[in-house]
Homo-oligomer: A and B are copies of this chain.
Amino acid sequence: MPQRPTIALLTDFGTREGYVAAIKGVILRRLPDATLIDISHEVTAHDVTTGALLLLDVAPYLPPGAVCVGVIDPGVGTARLPLAIECVGRALHLVGPDNGLLFPLASAGEFRAHAITSAAAVAPAISATFHGRDLFAPAAALLAAGATVDQLGPAVPRLVELQLPRPVFEDRRRCGQILRIDRFGNLISNILRSDLPLGVAAEALRFDVGGVIVNGLSLSYGLAAPAALLATVGGFDRIEIAVNGGSAAERLGLVSEMSIPLIVSWD
């Protein structure tokens, strides 16, 4: 574990209203030495699936011993449980609501989930509408300081599950979809590098993005022809459709990532 514990935050709160600052203040009150990383606060409001994807993509790059706090929580103040999760053997803890947000990352390996009920882990007075500050932040500070999940409350035998959209594997085809459009206009899909066949040359792959065909997988954006539409493997190992020096979203006239299929095929 590093000397200074790292707590990474993912919310749909935005950064304009001071919500995130209150969470950070509470963490630093309890753990002045914490280092805080913002994963994102700009997830679309209530979009648990995109939040789960971001946690999955970013967590492998956090320092050992990190605690990820995920607060996309439309059910705050209802019966849904607040969770503290140990990702066994991964030097990683997760904190957040039991609504699926943490499930894909937790279930990528062995994990132990506990409900947060300990008086030590919660603020003296808990707002029913802001558990990020009053419940998840204190719990994260405790875990980052060395507490174990069983010290925070009882084991939770079964979590709310969230299945991320995976591509369909067919003979010589993978049928996936676009998940996000990033700031560059790159179309980021749910097809991973590891979903592609071994032993098929990059040039032999064919990509069909909503009816538009791209031939071949480029090693990077700038290795395609200038202004060409291209397919490549993005930083989080996801197949992306991009334009060299431009925006694929603009080229294809897309304003939303909803319901765009991506099919990879080969002969």
Binding site for B on A (CB under 8 A): 2-4, 6, 8, 12-22, 24-26, 28-29, 32-33, 35, 37-43, 45-46, 54, 57-58, 61-64, 66, 74-78, 80, 127-130, 133, 180, 182-185, 219-223, 232-237, 240, 244-245, 247
Taken together, the copies of this chain in the complex come to 3
Contacts of A41 in B (CB 8 A): 15
6 A-B pairs closest in CB distance: A77-B220, A130-B235, A2-B32, A14-B183, A25-B61, A16-B42
Q: Is the CB of B24 within 8 A of A37?
A: yes
Please classify the interface of chain A as helix (H, G, I), strand (E, B), loop, or mixed, using the class held by over half of its residues: loop
A129 touches which of B14, B21, B43, B233 (Cβ 8 Å): B233
**Cα of A8 to Cα of B19 in the assembled complex, Å:** 13
A14: nearest residue on chain B (CB-CB)? B183
Contacts of A222 in B (CB 8 A): 74-78, 80
Q: Is the CB of B28 within 8 A of A76?
A: no
